[in-house]
């Protein structure tokens, strides 16, 4: 310990386990995800008789990552590099640098090895292929492996250290959050939980069944710390909160009495109708959220539709269909299956071709598998009227009631 520089000692997460990751303060787009608060690519060094690195980092940060490890332990003394996932944010630094771990064995599942080889070559690497029955002894500690396919890729794996009760969860329990803190309980926990929900909706929302399976497997071991590969890690009460959220999310029991309207507008008339609809929804006791795509983005669409009990999409007709931003938003929530089964409504203005709402309805119904209970929606030529505003208000009341009914139907069973 004493031979390690202070900045390394300061990153000791658990006795003998050091954070050697990267905080990416500047990233603002992460494969389409708007990372407003940056991110981190967390890697860890276990300082045991067989010094072991857990996960790598994104390629541009390879040198910094290697120097952090070397400050803990010379690279030629690293015995194992455990890879929980092959995606570039956790593995691409291996491509040109894996050989610098001159005496290391790369440890991963067969599926992860397949992906690592395709993506990064690693022709001369030494491998140890593990599965859920394998135990790797690294000194006074051992490591076990819990494959969690599709959390986030087919190769995703948790690594568990029973002696320290650490779950290295990689993408699991992550958040896109650049911070100098390493633990959720060192931060404003409610803010971390917000980022955690946003991350889960956007990255893992599609995989609730896999999340359920992962939780069930992880529940068979005692966990004191969850060391994630993105954002801050978890211990104590904050870890309990995070596990409870995963439990609700994985069971589809997370919806709030909340109505989200996603819209674009050309001259403000569709926007004005949305305000009336939201007033109606609010009157039922629902929280209401308006996401205007000129000032919002698909990441926020995923965040808010994820826990809404009902949604509406609105657009005026442009070029005989909906506006491109609404098509993109629908496409995104369709892929993530975020509004499947939820009450959904459509409305919007038109000039001479009344096409936006029918096209939105078709995508909500057939693509997103939402419950479109009124296929006509509300359409209006050019401008709203007092009567139309009243119609929108009443549609909001109806949508709010449906949101509440949806939430009650999907609430945790007592
Ligand atoms: Fe953080 Fe699936 O990579």
Q: Model confidence at 3, in pLDDT bands (50, 70, 90)?
A: confident
Apex 87 CA angle, 83 and 301, nearest 5: 130
How many Cβ atoms sit within 10 Å of the Cβ of residue 1? 9
Q: Taking a C-beta distance cutoff of 8 angstroms, is the pair 15, 44 a contact? A: no
304 is catalytic: no
pLDDT at 26 over 80: yes
DSSP string, 17-47: EEE--EEESS--EETTEE-TT-EEE--EEE-
Per the listing, tokens 């790797």 go with: 136
Per the listing, tokens 């009914």 go with: 405
* Catalytic residue selected from 89, 164, 264, 307: 89
31 is catalytic: yes
The minimum-distance atom of ligand 1 relative to the CA of 230 is: 1
Q: Taking a C-beta distance cutoff of 8 angstroms, is the pair 293, 329 a contact? A: yes
Enumerate residues lining ligand 1, CB below 6 A.
Answer: 85, 87, 89-90, 152-153, 171, 229-230
Q: Taking a C-beta distance cutoff of 8 angstroms, is the pair 330, 360 a contact? A: yes
Nearest Cα residue to atom 1 of ligand 1: 171
pLDDT tens digits for 62-74?
A: 999 999 999 999 9
Nearest Cα residue to atom 3 of ligand 1: 87
The minimum-distance atom of ligand 1 relative to the CA of 203 is: 2
Measured distance CA(229)–CA(267) in Å, rounded: 44
* Distance (Å) from CA 135 to ligand 1 centroid: 24
Q: Can you name the residues that pair with 46 across neighbouring β-strands? A: 17, 52
pLDDT tens digits for 101-126?
A: 999 999 999 999 999 999 999 999 99
* Distance (Å) from CA 222 to ligand 1 centroid: 25
* Distance (Å) from CA 174 to ligand 1 centroid: 9
Residues 6+ apart with CB under 8 A from 291: 260, 261, 262, 263, 300, 301, 304, 329
* Distance (Å) from CA 230 to ligand 1 centroid: 8
* Catalytic residue selected from 90, 115, 152, 271: 152
Q: Model confidence at 346, in pLDDT bands (50, 70, 90)?
A: very high
> Rounded to an integer, what is the distance from CA 118 to the centroid of its chain?
25
């Amino acid at each position: 310990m004493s031979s390690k520089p202070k900045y390394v000692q300061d990153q000791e997460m658990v006795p003998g386990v050091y954070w050697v990751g990267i905080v990416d303060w500047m990233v603002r787009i992460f494969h389409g995800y708007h990372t407003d608060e940056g991110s981190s690519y967390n890697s860890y060094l276990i300082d045991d008789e067989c010094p072991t690195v857990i996960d790598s980092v994104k390629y541009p940060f390879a040198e910094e990552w290697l120097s952090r490890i070397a400050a803990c332990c010379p690279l030629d003394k690293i015995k194992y590099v455990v890879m929980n996932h092959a995606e570039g944010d956790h593995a691409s630094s291996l491509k040109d640098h894996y050989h610098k771990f001159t005496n290391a064995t790369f440890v991963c599942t067969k599926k992860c090895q397949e992906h690592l080889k395709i993506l990064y070559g690693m022709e001369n690497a030494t491998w140890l292929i593990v599965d859920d029955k394998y135990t790797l002894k690294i000194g006074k500690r051992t490591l076990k492996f819990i494959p969690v396919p599709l959390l986030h890729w087919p190769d995703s794996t948790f690594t568990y250290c029973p002696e320290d009760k650490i779950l290295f969860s990689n993408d699991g329990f992550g958040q896109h959050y650049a911070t100098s803190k390493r633990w959720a309980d060192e931060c404003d926990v409610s803010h971390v939980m917000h980022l955690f929900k946003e991350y889960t909706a956007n990255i893992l929302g599609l995989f609730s069944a896999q999340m359920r399976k992962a939780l069930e497997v992880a529940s068979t071991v005692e966990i004191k710390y969850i060391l994630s590969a993105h954002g801050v890690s978890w211990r104590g009460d904050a870890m309990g909160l995070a596990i409870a959220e995963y439990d609700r999310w994985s069971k589809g029991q997370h919806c709030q009495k909340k109505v989200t309207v996603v819209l674009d507008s050309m001259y403000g008339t569709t926007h004005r109708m949305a305000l009336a609809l939201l007033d109606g929804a609010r009157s039922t006791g629902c929280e209401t959220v308006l996401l205007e795509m000129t000032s919002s983005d698909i990441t926020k669409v995923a965040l808010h539709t994820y826990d809404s009990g009902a949604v509406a999409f609105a657009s005026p007709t442009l070029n005989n269909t909906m506006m491109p931003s609404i098509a993109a938003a629908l496409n995104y929530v369709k892929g993530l299956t975020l509004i499947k089964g939820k009450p959904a409504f459509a409305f919007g203005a038109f000039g001479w071709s009344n096409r936006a709402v029918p096209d939105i309805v078709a995508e909500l119904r057939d693509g997103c598998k939402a419950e479109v209970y009124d296929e006509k929606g509300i359409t209006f030529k050019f401008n709203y009227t007092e009567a139309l505003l009243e119609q929108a208000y009443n549609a909001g009341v109806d949508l709010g009631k449906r949101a509440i009914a949806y939430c009650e139907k999907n609430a945790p069973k007592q």
